[in-house]
Homo-oligomer: A and B are copies of this chain.
Amino acid sequence: METRHAVTARTSPESARDIPEATVARLPIYLRALTTLSEQGTSTCSSEELAAAAGVNSAKLRKDLSYLGSYGTRGVGYDTDYLRYQIAREIGVTQDWPVVIVGIGNLGQALANYSGFRSRGFRVVALLDADPARHEEVVAGIDVRPFDHLEQIVRDHAVAIGVIATPALAAQDVADRMVACGITSILNFAPTVLNVPDQVDVRKVDLSIELQILAYHEQRKAASA
């Protein structure tokens, strides 16, 4: 949880209970667990059940949900679909978020094809790449377009979220251009530290860092054996 959202004092009009960052990070997990339960025909679930499905402690789950309001019934539990809707609304995925993906290498293609986006409130409105050789291609039913089109696309579709799947060297440039176009949230897959203004949120997904963390623990296991 290295995101530093807490610093930017985002004054909210009213009733803006500010939900702890750690809780926000878990809400999508609960959302997914609820969807699974619902598909299995479970119309009501207890905090124990839901916590088990989400892989967390039930006390933590209840405290997390308490930040949203009182959507449960004591002695009974939670209505699966009702709670699911409330969480989705709180996260903001009841509406559709247009997303731009920049960098159509292997990872960018994987992202473009990932069906989990569309089904969860995100719509890929454009794929951009700097390499002219790729502008002929169609990936996941979407034309790959020149990076220069970014500004127009952001304006036309009111894009607020950008995904960077370029090599590390290009990432900072892409981020700068995104910020200049008015994008305020960036999901960065490039293995580099991005420098952006405070009001822009950046989340980083780094494959090799995750593996290195596993390697550390693996080494400890081997050493103690």
Contact = CB atoms under 8 A, between A and B. Distances in A.
A12 B217 CA distance: 12
Nearest to A193: B55
A161 B193 contact: no
Interface residues of A, number: 76
Contacts of A28: 206, 208-209, 212-213
Given A191-B116, A193-B54, A218-B92, A111 B207 contact: yes
A11 interface: yes
Interface string A181-225: 000111100011111000101010111111111111111111110
B211 A117 contact: yes
A13 B225 CA distance: 9
B91 A216 contact: yes
Contacts of A107: 107, 110, 114
Interface of A: 2, 5, 10-13, 15-16, 19, 24-29, 31-33, 53-56, 90-93, 97, 99, 105-107, 109-111, 113-114, 116-117, 120-122, 160-161, 163, 184-187, 191-195, 199, 201, 203, 205-224
Given A16-B223, A91-B219, 19 more contacts: A2-B56, A10-B224, A13-B224, A15-B223, A27-B212, A29-B209, A32-B192, A91-B212, A92-B216, A106-B106, A109-B110, A110-B110, A114-B208, A116-B207, A122-B208, A122-B211, A163-B211, A185-B218, A201-B217
